[in-house]
Amino acid sequence: MILTPKPGVLDIAPYVGGRASVAGVADPIKLSSNESALGASPNALKAYEDAVKSVSIYPEGSAQILREAIGETYGLDPSRIVCGNGSNELLTLLANAYLRPGDEVLFSEYAFLVYRLAALSNSGVPVSAPEKNLRVDVDAMLARVSPKTRLVYLANPNNPTGTYLTSDEVRRLHAGLRPDTLLVIDAAYAEYVRMSDYENGMDMAARLPNVVMTRTFSKVYGLAGLRIGWAYCPAPVADVLHRVRDPFNVSIAAQCAAAAALRDKDYVGRCVEHNERWRAWLTDAIRKTGLVVVDSVGNFVLIRFPSASGKTAAEADRFLCERGLILRAVANYGLPDCLRLTVGPESANRKVAAALGEFMARAT
Ligand SMILES: Cc1ncc(COP(=O)(O)O)c(C=O)c1O
């Protein structure tokens, strides 16, 4: 007898984060992980430093100070908030708690990869629904709902496409699910979205017994390295997550920094403004080079490259890396002809647009 993991585990291709280095390039510009262009609020950094005094003490396990700060910011009931070691932890814990072997986990064709991992690591069956024009197709999702569907993950907006579903569409998706199917609305990029018809899932999670919304401090709040996310849940789901989470899953430094980041509303506002301005600028500048750029509401854009030799996404990736510019290849998402670009600081954005112009103009 040899030791083997649960069925599904060995089907997992381990998640690979965005590259951070290039051989032979001293200080590359990392635009591969949708991190904040402007970094964390100085108030958050100060709170982090102050928390050093408490490092010998276990943190309060339920992240009460952070749950209260989130509750105050959004007018939510802190008892229904669960914090996690990044929102990834919460997305996975939901699968750990609710999936039985053979249960189906539904998501869309180009959905965030973690949903598949969460399904497979619990011997669940990943089911993916085709998208239309790189947008989640609610009808295609509903057509794949079966008596075995237990979890439905929806990234809104989605990574890596940057497209979003409207409130009407998300509500229609929910209306087609049984009460014992959980809809998880992953709103990791919600703070960046300015569209009035956008659905971040907060009201739905507040009202409906089978909807959870997840959020993160890794994007607009600039705290990806500290690993903090949260979920707003129906009370029984919050109860379940508290049972299965690690007893001290959010460090004291992370709790304090995140609470301070949340309260620095001016800083968040400036980060959103920066994103709005430079996402539009990048979209326009890159389209002028002849490339296709998908309209995005997040802090990144998906760029589609031609199939002609000398102009492909893989060749562009190499060309950019040689110039110290790291984007994200998304072949593992089924998009081998695309690269994803995170909106960066002004100088980085200008360099990427110029380099892509050079790439498209060069003789091949
Ligand atoms: C759609 C989506 N959900 C969740 C996450 C995970 O974020 P966290 O850093 O909170 O684990 C990401 C990060 O890239 C994401 O793109």
Task: Check pLDDT > 90 for residue 227.
Answer: yes
- For residue 271, what is the DSSP state? H
From 33, 107, 114, the mutation candidate for ligand 1 (largest count of ligand atoms within 8 A of CB) is 114
Nearest atom of ligand 1 to the alpha carbon of 160: 16
**How high is the pLDDT of residue 170?**
98
3-state SS assignment for residue 298: coil
Output the ligand 1 site: residues, CB below 6 A. Answer: 34, 86-88, 112, 155, 159, 186, 188, 216, 218, 224, 229
DSSP string, 11-45: GPPPP-PPP---TT-SS-EE-SS---SS-S-HHHH
Nearest atom of ligand 1 to the alpha carbon of 91: 4
B/e letters for 263-295, b = 16+ CB within 10 Å, e = fewer, are: bbeebbeebbebbeebbeebbebbeebebebbe
From 93, 107, 159, the mutation candidate for ligand 1 (largest count of ligand atoms within 8 A of CB) is 159
Nearest atom of ligand 1 to the alpha carbon of 158: 1
What span, in angstroms and rounded, lies between the C-alpha atoms of 51 and 280?
Answer: 38
Rounded average pLDDT over 121-140 = 98
pLDDT per position as a tens digit, 287-328: 999 999 999 999 999 999 999 999 999 999 999 999 999 999
**CA max distance for the chain:** 62
From 34, 87, 193, 343, the mutation candidate for ligand 1 (largest count of ligand atoms within 8 A of CB) is 87
Nearest atom of ligand 1 to the alpha carbon of 227: 9
Share of the chain above pLDDT 90, in %: 95
**How high is the pLDDT of residue 21?**
84
Residue 153 CA, ligand 1 centroid: distance in Å: 13
What span, in angstroms and rounded, lies between the C-alpha atoms of 119 and 122?
Answer: 5
pLDDT per position as a tens digit, 88-118: 999 999 999 999 999 999 999 999 999 999 9
**What is the pTM assigned to this prediction?**
0.97
Rounded average pLDDT over 186-200 = 98
Residue 228 CA, ligand 1 centroid: distance in Å: 10
**How high is the pLDDT of residue 107?**
98
- C-alpha 284: how far from chain center: 24
Task: Check pLDDT > 80 for residue 364.
Answer: no
Least confident of 12-16, 90-94, 182-186, 302-306: 12-16
**How high is the pLDDT of residue 248?**
97
**How high is the pLDDT of residue 347?**
97
Q: What is the dihedral of CA 193, 194, 199, 204, to 10 degrees?
A: 100
Which strand (E) or helix (H) includes residue 52? none
What span, in angstroms and rounded, lies between the C-alpha atoms of 220 and 207?
Answer: 26
What span, in angstroms and rounded, lies between the C-alpha atoms of 294 and 283?
Answer: 8
pLDDT per position as a tens digit, 36-81: 999 999 999 999 999 999 999 999 999 999 999 999 999 999 999 9
